[in-house]
Amino acid sequence: MPGCRFGKAQGRIQDTMPVPMTVEGAEALRAELQNRKGVLRQEISKQIGVAREHGDLRENAEYHAAKEEQGLNEARIRDIESKLAEAQVIDIRKIPAGDKVIFGVTVRLLDVSTDETVSYKIVGEDEADLKAGKISVTSPVARALIGKVVGDSVKVQAPGGQREYEVDEVQHF
């Protein structure tokens, strides 16, 4: 059934919601997946082989470290595959440009109290990176901005107190 997943723990069918993701985010995950399945798997396999040659595996720290790395790599592979399977990839370039804040746009905001500007790209949860100017669609700032248009003001509760921003520009790229 589309949009449903059989819940292992509960033994019943659960609804799953598609997770929004930008094209760039999906491409980055696919590249990481390819690297982990190819290059990294081979490197870890070689490490395990070299460690086995050292003898008794019960007290072989190199072997145990390589096996742990293998387990972590395989877990990350499953995680990426799951995220890609649940992703709803949204290409903002295919949506007609406008002044409305939607998922995937870059929005420039004017801080009403300081007259400083800040820009954020609204992305999926796994893509968020504040230092790179990318905020999660589920963040308080993004939730306050979604649906607003250029000229609208929004109030956001930030860690340092409430801030008021004006939507200055919306960019589709």
Q: What is the CATH number of the domain that holds 125?
A: 3.10.50.30
User: How does the average pLDDT of the chain come out, rounded?
Assistant: 88
Residue 112 sits at φ, ψ, to 5 deg, of -60, -35
- Among the three residues 39, 65, 90, which one is the final residue of a domain in this structure? 90
- Among the three residues 90, 105, 132, which one is the final residue of a domain in this structure? 90
In this prediction, residue 11 has a pLDDT band, given cuts at 50, 70 and 90, of: very low
**CATH number where 50 lies:** 1.10.287.180
Segment 118-152, tens digit of pLDDT: 999 999 999 999 999 999 999 999 999 999 999 99
Q: Are residues 75 and 30 in the same domain?
A: yes
Q: How many CB atoms lie within 10 A of CB 50?
A: 12
**137 contacts: CB under 8 Å, gap ≥ 6:** 20, 103, 122, 123, 124, 125, 143, 146
Number of structural domains (the chain) is 2
In this prediction, residue 5 has a pLDDT band, given cuts at 50, 70 and 90, of: very low
In this prediction, residue 2 has a pLDDT band, given cuts at 50, 70 and 90, of: very low
Q: Are residues 153 and 116 in the same domain?
A: yes
Q: Are residues 101 and 86 in the same domain?
A: no
pLDDT at 52 over 50: yes
Domain span holding position 163? 94-171
Q: Are residues 83 and 109 in the same domain?
A: no
In this prediction, residue 15 has a pLDDT band, given cuts at 50, 70 and 90, of: low
Q: Are residues 137 and 153 in the same domain?
A: yes
Q: Are residues 101 and 125 in the same domain?
A: yes
Q: Is the pTM of this model over 0.85?
A: no
